[in-house]
Homo-oligomer: A and B are copies of this chain.
Amino acid sequence: MARGRRPGTSSSREDIAGAARTQFAELGYDRTTIRGVAAAAGVDPALVMHFYGSKQRLFIETMQLPFDAPALADELAAGDRATVGRRVIEYLLAAWEQPHTRALFVGRARASASEPEAAKLLRDQITRELIGPLARSIGADRPELRAALVSTQLIGWVFARWILEVEALRPLDVEQAARVLGPALQRYLVEPLD
């Protein structure tokens, strides 16, 4: 090993996870391979299999969000109810500016489009991970529906901005994008839906 590490150290596990996240985000699920991830991480494919067992497990285990979602949901729910939509979208837009965090969201969306198991994972995450707990935390009626509606706008933004790379969305910085998207999230989270 060029960097003098023994195979199978936790550092090579992290290298594999990092390479997996990048490849899932850039190539999508089907075009990401154990072999390609191993090559990018500078390890033998057998080591990837040793740690993760399959591409599906590799995906599921490396694409977890890096934040404590329940605590974050409480934090975003605290404060003025009239601006909760704006707080949520500002937090997420800033997170998506970080290449590492963005890769997780983009990778999940890309994989969901072709791999049913990834779609199931994302579907569950929508309800459980951040927006579901947030909708319950602010005491909204119909929290499941509200979380799902928020998710439509979030997924659509990630898809159009970071997968399609729609030109007109590029110039918006975090604050401008939050100003534009905030009212839809505010409505889905708090305001009467009918």
A interface with B by C-beta (< 8 Å):
27-31, 109-114, 119, 122-123, 126-127, 144-145, 147-149, 151-157, 159-161, 163-169, 179-181, 183-184, 187-188, 193-194
Contact = CB atoms under 8 A, between A and B. Distances in A.
B145 A168 contact: yes
6 contacts: A123-B166, A126-B164, A148-B160, A153-B156, A155-B160, A184-B187
Copies of this chain, tallied across the complex: 2
A114 B28 contact: yes
B152 A160 contact: yes
A139 B37 CA distance: 49
A159 to B, nearest CB: 5
Contacts of A179: 193-194
